[in-house]
Amino acid sequence: MIDERESFLRAIFDASEDDMPRLVFADWLEERGEGLMARAIRHSIEIYRNGPQADPTSYFTSPSGMMELLTHDQIEQLQGVARWKLPVEETERIFSLPLREFHTENQLKKTLTHRPLYYTAKRLTIRGDGLQIRDEKLFDLLFSSSALRSVNELVICGDEIPITGTITDDMGLLTELPVFEIAIKPMITLSGVESLARHRGASRLIGLDLRHNQLGNDALRSLARSPYLDSLKYLRIAEGNQFRGRVWQLLIERFGELVVS
**pLDDT tens digit sequence for 153-172:** 999 999 877 666 666 666 66
Q: What is the Cα–Cα distance from 200 to 196, expressed in whole angstroms?
A: 8
Q: Hey, what's the torsion of the CAs at 149, 150, 156, 159, to 10 degrees?
A: -100
pLDDT value at position 110?
87
Q: What is the Cα–Cα distance from 73 to 248, expressed in whole angstroms?
A: 47
Strands (E), the chain: 94-98, 123-127, 153-155, 159-165, 179-185, 207-209, 234-236
Query: pTM for the full model?
Result: 0.80
| CB-CB contact of 122 with 155 (8 Å) | no
> How many other C-beta atoms lie within 10 A of the C-beta of residue 206?
15
User: What tens digit of pLDDT does each residue of 65-113 get?
Assistant: 555 778 888 888 888 888 876 544 444 577 899 999 998 888 898 888 8
